[in-house]
Structure 1
Amino acid sequence: MINIEIDSIIDDISPHNYIDCDIDTIDFCDINYNGFVENFMLKNLPCVVKNISLEWECASKWIEGNKINYDYLQNTYGDLEAPVADCNNIDFNAHCKSNMKVGEYMDYLKNDKKDGTLYLKDWHLRRIRPSDQFYNVPFIFGSDWLNEYATDHQEDDFMFVYIGPSKSWTPFHADVYSSYSWSVNIFGRKKWILLPPKEEEKLKDTLGNLPLLFNPEQSQNVKYFEILQEKGDAIFVPSGWHHQVTNLLDTVSINHNFINAFNIEFVWSSLQTNLLSVEKEIEEFKHTPEFQEQCQLILKSVFGMNFVDFLHFISHIAQKRLNQMNSENYVGFNNFTLGIKHIMFDLNILLKIINSVQNHPLFSNKYIAPNEIDTIMNIKNSILLKVK
């Protein structure tokens, strides 16, 4: 187990001015957890981390010399199915997807005369093969409420394998729930383009739609960063940073989305913004009995979670942190142990979020069940006893 802890100094960090920001490159060997929190997570700034996968099993077994070890992947995972996106087939601003046997995909990938551009992505291999420890979650990403919640509830996780040929790509987007993400190249090279929050507003058309791909040559006065990600590099993508990715070579990567105390306020704010947009979109039905229910259904469709989902999420993490303090069992996600200051910080931030949720109009109307309100208020009172 690896312990992750923070210093009290992190409360003094102020939001960063994205206009003056740059993207740092650091070496994994030189990183400490608190420094990463202060310099990147709290400031919501991206970075490149070198040499992060040197000791990962997949870095040796999945790669043979200067190419992907197709035979190993076929023999080990060939009978499994994985989602595959067709980069040449677009429907509603997204790639069309289908499932394919991994063995069949490897046959496609090693063929020099490929038919089309197929990209194996969003593959939940870690969930399918939990005993197969083909990589280690870097300790700097160890505070991960999203995958902690998914693991505790045996739901779909946010841990993915991507394998794609040269010229495969991911469209311009921001990550689900406005979460953080990290992506580690096991092999190959990617080109990333990232835009700081709000810069994407300059790209919207008259209907408010974003482009499938951002073209810098066609977009004036838009601040963006271009990064080449090499083998062994990790990219940390903060909340609200729109990005697109192109594989310049055949590439294999491990990718996680995650939420924690350092970006949960961003997630909550984004959920509220999306809800307001949904309410405005169907405001002609505002006085119908089904209005709020329909708004929540649409919100879940466009944002990934609705108001009640968010309540369940923060309630679970808060109750778990309270239990950890009471039992002195500080294990969080992936067997990382949390220092007491970290747990207290989590609880203080959760208390702040709960107070904000409590002030939201939806909390006091009939949409929220009384038992849900009782649960969150009991948790709030328990936190107050711990942090006062």
Structure 2
Amino acid sequence: MDRETRAFAESHFRRLRGRPAGGVGATPGRVDFIESPDSFSYADFFKGYLLPNVPCVFSSSFTEGWGSRRRWVTPGGKPAFEHLLRNYGDVVVPVANCGVREYNSNPKEHMLLRDYISYWKDYIQGGSSSPRGCLYLKDWHLCRAPLAEDVFTLPVYFSSDWLNEYWDVLDVDDYRFVYMGPAGTWSPFHADIFRSFSWSVNICGRKRWFFFPPGQEEALRDCHGGLPYDVTSPTLLDGRLYPMRKHCSPPLELTQEAGEMVFVPSGWHHQVHNLEDTISINHNWVNGCNLANMWHFLQQELRAVQQEVSQWRDTMPDWDHHCQVIMRSCSGINFEEFYHFLKIIAERRLLLLTKELGPGDMEGSAGRGLGPQQAAFDVSRIAEVLASVVAHPDFQRVDTSVFSLQPGELLQQLEEVVAATASL
């Protein structure tokens, strides 16, 4: 990040103060297509798509050097099953059954990749049909596997990735995934975890995307308040079941070709269908641009938990603590872990700014291109959100006595650095 881009970003967030998190500016009428890496900079993406929180598609030129595009695909553009079997056949992978609805998702099982590929071949030979149903390999953490090859090179546009930086520090499962499946596999209507950004690259195959900007999903709720499972279903035309449907704008639609890269903005609900045999690499990520959205989402999640168990508030010892435990079980994170997430990212940025750790020493997903301007921007965003966290009544009920650094002390450090780097 350069000085001009940082100033642009800080001005953007000053204008947003006092407004609800999770919004978007004017909704575009189409999804922009970015043709050439040579004429599209990090600043172009940051100012044109990341800050406004709108989707775009990058051409296959951006991924043409990836190892997975060379090794995982046949000359005819199909999945290279034999290569995958040789290298990963004995790896256990998660597989969802697209033909079975479980709440608003699909049930998962685990199997060896060789067994999944055997199923996939039978599915193709059976004319896109199988007695086992329509199975989709989803959320495979290949990038953490010891057998992982030179699969991809992280695009610089997505290099400020706090979510995977944090999970890498903890050395636990990350939010980098491989998906693969035959034509007809799909992901139901959803918004990404923690209201993260995501990016998705088709290594081979084609996908059809349906995008709804933040807030539009409210018009898609049924008469019971539930969101749809499938936005292409004719049942959405039933005005008695979906009384607000007429107020929803048509989705932004796009077809993603092989090699192309889709940027999915924060809080945009979407649905994705594989039009042919497809392999994709997908990352979820959070940074200073959508941190407030994540915090807003976590507050909503806690309120939902509190509402569900409100009848036990006066009789359950440590009711507030139990709400946090339930929230972590349901959402994968609670207020305490969110603070630790902010603390780890903040400490790494403070180290960089005090020159105890140079950009070249920042390993992992967040390291590439992270210089002092980006670090200063990150610190300012953490400080603003942490101030809201510290002031939140439910966070004040969290036992912070065992924390290695008290939240108020961290906030003071960050505010001092924000003031000191204002003229950086």
Sort the TM-score into its range (normalised by shorter chain): over 0.9
1:372 aligned partner: 403
1:268 aligned partner: 295
CA displacement 1:94-127 (0-9 Å, x = unmatched): 2111111111212222231152211111000110
Give the conservation status (yes or no) of the 8 Å contact 1:62–1:72. Answer: yes
**1:201 paired residue among 218, 224, 236:** 218
Where in structure 2 are the equivalents of 1:83-102 lying within 5 Å?
83-102=94-113
SS at match of 1:338: coil
How far apart are 1:135 and its partner, in Å? 0.7
Match status 1:57 vs 2:55 = no
The runs of at least 4 aligned residues of structure 1 exceeding 6 Å deviation read: none
Give the conservation status (yes or no) of the 8 Å contact 2:6–2:377. Answer: no
Match status 1:308 vs 2:336 = yes
How far apart are 1:239 and its partner, in Å? 1.1
1:384 aligned partner: 415
1:255 aligned partner: 282
How far apart are 1:333 and its partner, in Å? 3.3
Change (3 A) 1:291 1:176: same
1:170 aligned partner: 187
2:203 aligned partner: 186
Aligned amino acid, residue 70 of structure 2: S
1:144 aligned partner: 161
Give the conservation status (yes or no) of the 8 Å contact 2:352–2:372. Answer: no
Aligned amino acid, residue 43 of structure 1: P
Change (3 A) 1:364 1:221: closer
Match status 1:40 vs 2:74 = no
Give the conservation status (yes or no) of the 8 Å contact 2:166–2:345. Answer: yes
Q: Distance in 2 between matches of 1:344 and 1:125?
A: 33
CA displacement 1:273-307 (0-9 Å, x = unmatched): 22222222322222232321232133223332111
Change (3 A) 1:386 1:355: same
Change (3 A) 1:247 1:350: same
Aligned amino acid, residue 383 of structure 1: L
SS at match of 1:342: helix
Where in structure 2 are the equivalents of 1:111-150 lying within 5 Å?
111=122, 112-113=125-126, 114-115=129-130, 116-129=133-146, 132-150=149-167
1:355 aligned partner: 387
Change (3 A) 1:28 1:280: farther
SS at match of 2:101: strand
Aligned amino acid, residue 226 of structure 1: E
Where in structure 2 are the equivalents of 1:214-363 lying within 5 Å?
214-215=231-232, 218=237, 219-223=245-249, 224-288=251-315, 289-326=317-354, 327-330=356-359, 331=362, 333-334=364-365, 335-363=367-395
1:17 aligned partner: 25
SS at match of 1:208: coil
| Structure 2: unaligned runs, 5 residues or longer | 17-23, 238-244, 420-424
Change (3 A) 1:209 1:282: same
SS at match of 2:325: helix
Aligned amino acid, residue 57 of structure 1: G
Change (3 A) 1:126 1:374: closer
How far apart are 1:88 and its partner, in Å? 1.4
Q: Distance in 2 between matches of 1:363 and 1:285?
A: 20
Match status 1:68 vs 2:100 = no
Q: Distance in 2 between matches of 1:12 and 1:4?
A: 14
Q: Distance in 1 between matches of 2:11 and 2:405?
A: 33
Q: Distance in 1 between matches of 2:291 and 2:254?
A: 26
User: Hey, which of these two has a bigger chunk of strand by percent?
Assistant: 1
Q: Distance in 1 between matches of 2:29 and 2:295?
A: 24
- Normalised to the residue count of structure 2, the TM-score between the two structures is 0.86
Change (3 A) 1:172 1:4: farther
2:91 aligned partner: 80
SS at match of 1:371: coil
Aligned amino acid, residue 222 of structure 1: C
SS at match of 1:17: coil
| Structure 1: unaligned runs, 5 residues or longer | none
How far apart are 1:147 and its partner, in Å? 0.4
2:242 aligned partner: none
Q: Distance in 1 between matches of 2:370 and 2:223?
A: 47
CA displacement 1:19-58 (0-9 Å, x = unmatched): 4554211125132111111111111111111122111011
1:27 aligned partner: 35
Aligned amino acid, residue 134 of structure 1: V
1:107 aligned partner: 118
Give the conservation status (yes or no) of the 8 Å contact 1:176–1:304. Answer: no
Give the conservation status (yes or no) of the 8 Å contact 1:121–1:162. Answer: yes
How far apart are 1:18 and its partner, in Å? 4.1
Cα RMSD for the two superposed structures: 2.0
Q: Distance in 1 between matches of 2:147 and 2:288?
A: 26
Q: Distance in 2 between matches of 1:354 and 1:306?
A: 14
SS at match of 1:245: strand
How many aligned positions are there?
Answer: 385
Q: Distance in 1 between matches of 2:225 and 2:146?
A: 41
CA displacement 1:318-366 (0-9 Å, x = unmatched): 011111222142225334141111000000111101111111002333x
CA displacement 1:158-181 (0-9 Å, x = unmatched): 000011100001111111111111
Q: Distance in 2 between matches of 1:46 and 1:287?
A: 46
Q: Distance in 1 between matches of 2:55 and 2:162?
A: 19
CA displacement 1:245-293 (0-9 Å, x = unmatched): 1100000100000000110011001111222222223222222323212
How far apart are 1:212 and its partner, in Å? 1.1
Aligned amino acid, residue 412 of structure 2: N
